[in-house]
Structure 1
Amino acid sequence: MESKLVSPRARAVTRDDLASAVYGRVGASRAEAHALVDMMLAEIVDTLSRGENVKLSSFGAFFVRSKSERIGRNPKTGVEAPIAARRVVVFKASKILGGRLNGPVLVDEPLGI
């Protein structure tokens, strides 16, 4: 079976796309759908900002990981520079999502959410 790589220029799903999907499936007004998507994303951001994990069943989990200070190198000039300690968000896909990405998928198969 031939493997297809996703183009780095592939279109990204936007907040508006998510709100349109909510609007189409739930039947809420467009304004309510946008507000719902914004509230959900704000809750995820607030939870991660507090250092807590976010787990979405059948989808995956977002974790906050602390990275210590390190020395980096400019690849163009070779000059070393310190990179400050920081916190980053890491996403780990669930087994169900991983299976959907890597296995045969039926068109009407629900994600399980």
Structure 2
Amino acid sequence: MNKQELVDAVAAKTGDSKVATGEMIDAVIEAITGELTKGKTVQLIGFGSFSTGARAARVGRNPATGAEIQIPAAKTVKFTAGKAFKDAVKGA
């Protein structure tokens, strides 16, 4: 499912217009992104938690040449599924 299909599905369930639903979904994504860029966690009870993590710098290999390369440290986004979400997926 892509974003437009998500907008269509939510609009069909709520009865709202696709334009209004698209704006709401954009606002939710923007709010989650804003909190994560501040280093905070977003918890949606029953669905899951979004948080940030750090990946340390490390040495990797170029698969084409086998040469060692330095991979810099990076900030990552993590999603941990909530129990209700896991159970729903398991039962499907």
Give the TM-score taking structure 1 as reference length. 0.74
Structural mapping, 1:41-56, within 5 Å? 41-56=29-44
Query: Does residue 23 of structure 1 match 2:11?
Result: yes
Cα distance in 2 for partners of 1:74, 1:59 equals 38
Name the % identity: 30
> In structure 1, what is the equivalent of residue 79 of structure 2?
91
1:42 to partner: Cα distance = 0.8
Structural mapping, 1:1-113, within 5 Å? 13-102=1-90, 104-105=91-92
| 3-state SS in 2 of match to 1:38 | helix
After superposing on structure 2, the runs of 4+ consecutive aligned residues of structure 1 that deviate more than 6 Å are none
> In structure 2, what is the equivalent of residue 9 of structure 1?
none
Cα distance in 2 for partners of 1:50, 1:63 equals 10
Count of residue correspondences: 92
1:100 to partner: Cα distance = 2.0
Counterpart of 1:33 in structure 2: which amino acid?
A: T
Please list every run of 5 or more consecutive structure 2 residues that lacks an aligned counterpart in the other structure.
Answer: none
Please list every run of 5 or more consecutive structure 1 residues that lacks an aligned counterpart in the other structure.
Answer: 1-12, 106-113
Give the TM-score taking structure 2 as reference length. 0.89
Q: Which of the two has greater strand per residue?
A: 2
Q: Which of the two has greater helix per residue?
A: 2
